[in-house]
């Protein structure tokens, strides 16, 4: 039987399909061997002021004191937000990070509606004042308040922003910017309130 001859115009070369597959495989293997790390990959979470959670979030402690709003803006400038604590493991990680000598802002506030505590993403996590007065976690959300908190400064002044503080950790409501509730402190006779803060990179 005569052999089948294929003639292609314009200089096109017809090759054996198995030969073409071998060339493609070799090219593919070469791509796998190159550095294919995306340019927008998140930086490592292994600094001395950082801790990575089991869910992959990265918490970073900043010790330069800022007001709560300024701390939130500082986090946002790096595409992060003030820390949201979803469970006991996150809480322990942040407690260890903050240590016993600092007070640090987290991402909770009841500035929108008094005694309705929200995370910066809008998630509600606590309703009311301290547990002894009937306050409680919203729909089973995690809450790590110290005893007798939140307490609005014992009724003396507005404490509408969440901190983790001092020996033993635990949450405390503290002023967002000034003890009078005045956001700037101007004309109040009070110094502006500023604390360390914890940012979270999801």
Structural domains present in the chain: 50-201 (3.10.100.10)
Report pLDDT for 150: 96
Question: Is residue 9's pLDDT more than 80?
Answer: no
Q: Pick left, alpha or beta for residue 115 (phi over 0 → left; psi -120 to 50 → alpha; otherwise beta).
A: left
State the average pLDDT over residues 110-123: 96
State the average pLDDT over residues 120-139: 96
Helix (H, G, I), strand (E, B) or coil at 53: coil
Residue identified by tokens 């547990």 is 131
pLDDT digits (tens, 9 = 90+) for 21-67: 444 444 444 433 334 344 466 789 999 999 999 889 999 999 999 99
Give φ, ψ of 157 to 5 degrees.
-160, 170
pTM for the structure as a whole? 0.76
State the average pLDDT over residues 182-189: 50
Question: Is residue 13's pLDDT more than 50?
Answer: no
Q: Where are the beta strands (DSSP E) in 34-91?
A: 50-52, 58-66, 81-82
Report pLDDT for 34: 38
Question: Is residue 11's pLDDT more than 60?
Answer: no
Q: Pick left, alpha or beta for residue 80 (phi over 0 → left; psi -120 to 50 → alpha; otherwise beta).
A: beta
- What is the separation of C-alpha 84 from the centre of its chain, rounded to a whole number of angstroms? 6
CA angle at residue 193 from 192 to 194, to 5 degrees? 115
Taking all residues of the chain, what is their mean pLDDT, rounded to a whole number?
81
Confidence of residue 180 (pLDDT cuts 50, 70, 90): low
pLDDT digits (tens, 9 = 90+) for 76-92: 999 999 999 999 999 99
Report pLDDT for 7: 45
Distance CA 105, CA 122 (A): 17
State the average pLDDT over residues 175-179: 86
């Amino acid at each position: 039987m005569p052999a089948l001859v294929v003639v292609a115009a314009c200089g096109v070369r017809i090759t054996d399909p198995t030969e073409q597959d071998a060339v493609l495989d070799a090219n593919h293997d070469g791509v796998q061997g190159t550095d294919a790390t995306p340019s927008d990959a998140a930086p490592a979470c292994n600094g001395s002021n950082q801790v990575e959670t089991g869910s992959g979030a990265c918490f970073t402690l900043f010790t330069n004191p800022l007001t709560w709003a300024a701390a939130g803006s500082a986090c946002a400038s790096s595409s992060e937000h003030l820390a949201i604590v979803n469970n006991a493991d996150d809480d322990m990680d942040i407690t260890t990070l903050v240590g016993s000598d600092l007070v640090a802002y987290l991402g909770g506030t009841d500035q929108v509606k008094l005694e309705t505590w929200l995370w910066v993403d809008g998630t509600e996590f606590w309703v009311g004042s301290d547990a002894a007065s009937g306050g409680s976690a919203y729909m089973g959300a995690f809450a790590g308040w110290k005893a007798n908190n939140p307490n609005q400064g014992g009724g003396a002044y507005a404490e509408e922003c969440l901190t983790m503080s001092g020996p033993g950790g635990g949450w405390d409501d503290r002023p967002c910017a000034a003890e009078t509730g005045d956001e700037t402190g101007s004309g109040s006779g009070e110094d502006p309130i500023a604390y360390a803060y914890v940012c979270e990179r999801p």
